[in-house]
């Protein structure tokens, strides 16, 4: 049996996941990184992207939209703005969000509104991509 470490994923809505896992891959601000038990401690910011959790030899995929990660030898904590397992993503809602973001980007608007629309577009694309892995 593979060695495990504790992973806790927390969003503003509450605890999303709190279990022992074998491996974690996450989209850090400096690039994707992996974590195994005994990893050197570090902290980094989390980009919009895919988190992959390996538990009991099986991968589970989550869509995240930014946050922070703290890694320690026996525990990793992800504080994310959002975190959804692929099987929980409402694909139709994600597709609607994608269309709304595209429409907002097509309209001339203030720079701040344009940046928010781009961020919404990136989040929607990520959720759709991850939903296909559930």
Superfamily name with CATH number, domain 5-86 = F0F1 ATP synthase delta/epsilon subunit, N-terminal (2.60.15.10)
Determine contact, residues 24/34, Cβ cutoff 8 Å: yes
Q: What is the pLDDT of residues 64-104, one digit of tens each?
A: 999 999 999 999 999 999 999 999 888 888 888 888 888 88
Neighbours of 132 (CB within 10 A): 10
Domain with CATH 1.20.5.440 in the chain: 90-131
Residue 32 has pLDDT above 90, yes or no: yes
CATH architecture under which domain 90-131 falls: Up-down Bundle (1.20)
Query: pTM higher than 0.85, yes or no?
Result: no
Contact indicator for 41, 120 with CB cutoff of 8 Å: no
Question: Which of the residue ranges 49-58, 91-100, 118-127 has the most confident prediction, judged by mean pLDDT?
Answer: 49-58
């Amino acid at each position: 049996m593979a060695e495990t470490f504790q992973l806790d994923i927390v969003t503003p809505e509450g605890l999303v996941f709190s279990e022992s896992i074998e491996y974690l891959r996450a989209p850090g601000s400096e690039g994707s990184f992996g974590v195994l038990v005994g990893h050197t401690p570090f902290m980094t910011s989390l980009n919009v992207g895919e988190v992959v959790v390996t538990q009991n030899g099986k991968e589970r995929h989550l869509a995240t939209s930014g946050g922070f990660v703290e890694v320690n030898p026996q525990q990793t904590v992800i504080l994310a703005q959002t975190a959804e397992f692929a099987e929980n993503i409402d694909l139709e809602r994600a597709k609607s969000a994608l269309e709304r973001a595209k429409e907002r980007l097509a309209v001339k608007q203030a720079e701040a509104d344009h940046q928010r629309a781009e961020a919404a577009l990136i989040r929607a694309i990520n959720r759709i991509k991850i939903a296909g892995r559930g």
